[in-house]
Amino acid sequence: MDGKFIKFGKNLVTTDEFVAEGHSFCVGCGEALALRLACKALGKDVIIANATGCIEICTSPLPVTSWRVPWIHTLFENTGAEISGIEAGLKILMKKGKMPERDIKCVAVAGDGGTSDIGMQALSGAFERKHDFLYLCFDNEAYMNTGIQRSSATPYGASTTTAPAGKLSIGQTTWKKNMAEIAVAHDIPYVATACPSYPFDLINKVKKGGEVKGPAYVHIFSPCPTGWRYPTDLAIEIGRLAVETGIFPLYEVENGRYKLNIDRPKLRPVEEYLKPQGRFRHLLDGEIAKIQEHVNEEYAKLKAKVACFAA
């Protein structure tokens, strides 16, 4: 690692790679790209606690590892508790003079299953105790690592191995749990949504989340060619469509104040996002219209919250 930076317009991005090549992510994995960018934003002075899931499996096939920063594998359910302990431990070691005072970022990394489902309680506790940490949820909208099982972050209408579409069902029959809003409800200083199709936006948000004192949460949309069944060269396009249709808006909430980072005057129809993906291929016009209506409503609610803080 040489600590050099490349300039992209106004943005400086390090050439250092903190997650080395040689990992086993699928070709075209949006999560791998998002992780690489997030780690560039954080730099080397971090400790990462990583819940089991695709990221952990693909970066740490014993006896080798892709991690070039301190990293610990946690259970599926306890990332929030583990990062709390790491943060409290560092604090006490520095206070007692057992290690020099240093700014070390404590970062938790987990999937949507590890966050919205099984890890929710530990995360909620860590938010509530106001530990100084950043939590990154890499949301590929199912339990991908174990074979594409539905999670509470799986969107309505998507076919998964445990909620398959067929004669009796359209697949997932519930709306996606809004994890970013659940984080906001904990009254923490920083919450944001990000997507690797907007790399500088993602880098800036992860950087900000790492610098904030107290808990911060960044929810990262992570397109998955294997589980979503789209061609492997479409990850960036799928992410962009999710944002431009309003399915996954990019916004920040700083000390309770909402800001929309990308706001198109007119959203694209959700159909453009749904059509290229095999997991939605069975949806008929009526179901697509229902999804469109839901997206319109959710987007309008978000815009209303943003409007509260405008001017």
112, 117, 244, 252: which one binds Mg ion (CB under 5 A): 112
Strands 134-139, 216-221: pairing kind: parallel
Exposure of 288 in the CB half-sphere (CA atoms within 13 A): 14
Written as one string, the DSSP assignment of 214-243 is S-EEEEEE---HHHHT--GGGHHHHHHHHH
Closest to ligand TPP by CB, 77 or 252: 77
- Of all residues in the shown chain, the one whose CB is closest to Mg ion is 111
Q: Does 140 bind Mg ion (CB under 5 A)?
A: yes
Which one of ligand TPP, Mg ion, none is in contact with 76 (Cβ closer than 5 to 8 A by kind)? ligand TPP
Q: What six digits make up the tokens of 181?
A: 């809003």
DSSP summary character for residue 263 = -
Which one of Mg ion, ligand TPP, none is in contact with 242 (Cβ closer than 5 to 8 A by kind)? none
- Distance between CA 185 and CA 132 in Å, rounded? 17
Q: How far is CA 12 from CA 3, 195, 200, in A?
A: 12, 18, 9
- Distance between CA 256 and CA 184 in Å, rounded? 7
66, 74, 84, 145: which one binds ligand TPP (CB under 6 A): 145
Q: Please give the size of the binding site for ligand TPP, defined by CB under 6 A.
A: 17
Helical axes 199-211 vs 30-42, angle rounded to 10°? 50
- Distance between CA 178 and CA 305 in Å, rounded? 15
- Enumerate the H helices of 66-133 as residue ranges: 79-95, 112, 120-128
Which one of ligand TPP, Mg ion, none is in contact with 52 (Cβ closer than 5 to 8 A by kind)? ligand TPP
We find the least distance from the C-beta atom of residue 102 to ligand TPP, in angstroms, to be 31
Q: Sign of torsion, CA 260 265 270 271?
A: negative
- H-run or E-run covering 26: none
Closest to ligand TPP by CB, 14 or 172: 172
Closest to ligand TPP by CB, 210 or 227: 227
We find the least distance from the C-beta atom of residue 147 to ligand TPP, in angstroms, to be 9
We find the least distance from the C-beta atom of residue 151 to ligand TPP, in angstroms, to be 6
Interface positions, 71-100, toward ligand TPP (CB under 6 A): 76-77
Q: Does 171 bind ligand TPP (CB under 6 A)?
A: no
Interface positions, 38-57, toward ligand TPP (CB under 6 A): 52-55
50, 140, 172, 245: which one binds ligand TPP (CB under 6 A): 140
Which one of ligand TPP, Mg ion, none is in contact with 77 (Cβ closer than 5 to 8 A by kind)? ligand TPP
Q: Using an 8 Å Cβ cutoff, are 119 and 79 in contact?
A: yes
Closest to ligand TPP by CB, 122 or 144: 144
Q: Does 119 bind Mg ion (CB under 5 A)?
A: no
Q: Which residues bind Mg ion (CB under 5 A)?
A: 111-112, 140, 144
Q: Which residues bind ligand TPP (CB under 6 A)?
A: 52-55, 76-77, 110-114, 140, 143-146, 151
